Amino acid sequence: MKNWITISCLMAAMVLTLLFTNSCQHCNNPTDPDCGNYNPCYGASNVADFMCTEYLDENTDLLVKCDTLIMGNISWFNSKSNYLIYDWQIGSDTNHRHSKEFNIYFDKSFGTIPITLIGKRAPNPKCIPNDDGVDTFTKPITIVDWKASPLIGKFSGSLVSNPTQIFTIEIKENTSIQNLIMNSPILLNLLNTCDGIYNISIGYKQFRSPIGAASYSPTGSCYKITDISGSLDISNQIITITYISDYGHITGKIKTETFIGKRQP
C-alpha cells in the first residue's frame, strides 16, 4: 500500500511538472511574471518622445504625421509615454502646456522652432541606474505658409483604371478675384476632360477636400466628384490622389478613382 501511495505521488508530481513546463513553453510575454522570459524592467525607459500631427480640416478626423506644419492648420501634439506631470515648451512661448496632449494653432510661418517635452514620473533606479524620474525630449518643428508645401506644382500621370491616358493635374493658388482674400489652394484638371476647379485643405505633404468644400466648372461640363484626398511619397516626386466620382448621369454608378502622377519641371 505504501509503495502504491509513493508511485501515485510521483506520477502526480510528473504531471504537474509537465503541465508547468508546457505552460512556460507556450508563454512568451516579458510583462507576465508566470512566463519564462519575464523581465521586470521590460519597457522601462528614461527617454521621452512625442508625436506631432496636423488636422487638414477641423471638420474631419484626418491626421497627418509630420515635422513640418502649415500655418493656419490645427496642430496636435501627443506624448508617447504616460507621466505624472507634463511640461510642454513651444519655442519661446511663455505659456507652457501641462497635459498629455494638446492642440495649437500657429498663425504665422515661424520657421523652425524647438518643441520640448519634460515628463516627470516616479524614479525607477532598479531598472535605470541614477534615474531621477525626469525625462526631457526636444524636437525641431518647422511652420511654413502653405505655398511652401511640396504639393504645389504640376504632376503628370494617369488613372489606375485607365493607365494609357496620360494627363497633368496642378495644385496652385486660387488667383481669382473672389478668392484673393481667402489665399487658398485649388486643384485643377483632375477629370482631364473638363475644367473642374476644386478647393482643398492643404498640409505639408497631404491634402483633402473639406466637407462642404466648393467646387465648380466654368463651362459646366464636369460631373460631381467628392472625398478628394492626396499625398506625396517620401521623395516628394510621386503624388497619389483618390476621389469618388458620380457617374450617375451616365451610368447610374458611383466609382472610386485613383490618380498617380510624377512631378513635372
Contact between 260 and 155 (Cβ < 8 Å): no
pLDDT digits (tens, 9 = 90+) for 211-257: 655 567 777 777 778 889 999 998 999 999 999 887 555 555 678 89
What pLDDT shows up at residue 254? Answer: 76
Amino acid present at 91: G
Q: Is the pLDDT of residue 58 over 60?
A: no
**What is the mean predicted confidence (pLDDT) over 117-124?**
95
Amino acid present at 92: S
C-alpha cell of 79?
506624448
Residue in the structure block whose three cell numbers are 467628392? 226
Tell me the C-alpha distance between 193 and 167, whole Å: 9
What pLDDT shows up at residue 38? Answer: 85
What pLDDT shows up at residue 235? Answer: 92
What pLDDT shows up at residue 115? Answer: 95
HSE value, Cβ hemisphere, 13 Å, CA-based, for 73? 37
Tell me the C-alpha distance between 119 and 49, whole Å: 9
In the chain, list all ranges with CATH 2.40.160: 148-263
Residue in the structure block whose three cell numbers are 493656419? 72
C-alpha cell of 76?
496636435
Contact between 211 and 59 (Cβ < 8 Å): yes
CATH class given for the domain over 50-144: mainly beta
What pLDDT shows up at residue 95? Answer: 93
What pLDDT shows up at residue 5? Answer: 45
Amino acid present at 201: S
Q: Is the pLDDT of residue 202 over 70?
A: yes
**What is the mean predicted confidence (pLDDT) over 120-134?**
92
C-alpha cell of 207?
491634402
In the chain, list all ranges with CATH 2.60.40.10: 50-144
Correct CATH for 148-263 of 2.60.40, 2.60.120, 2.40.390, 2.40.160: 2.40.160
Tell me the C-alpha distance between 137 and 77, whole Å: 13
* Residue 41, burial from CB neighbour count under 10 angstroms (0-12, 13-18, 19+): exposed
What is the distance of C-alpha 208 from the center of its chain? Answer: 14
pLDDT digits (tens, 9 = 90+) for 16-25: 554 444 444 5
What pLDDT shows up at residue 4? Answer: 43
**What is the mean predicted confidence (pLDDT) over 61-80?**
81
Contact between 118 and 87 (Cβ < 8 Å): yes
What pLDDT shows up at residue 55? Answer: 76
Q: Is the pLDDT of residue 96 over 90?
A: yes
Contact between 204 and 212 (Cβ < 8 Å): no
- Counting residues of the chain whose pLDDT is more than 90, the rounded percentage is 43
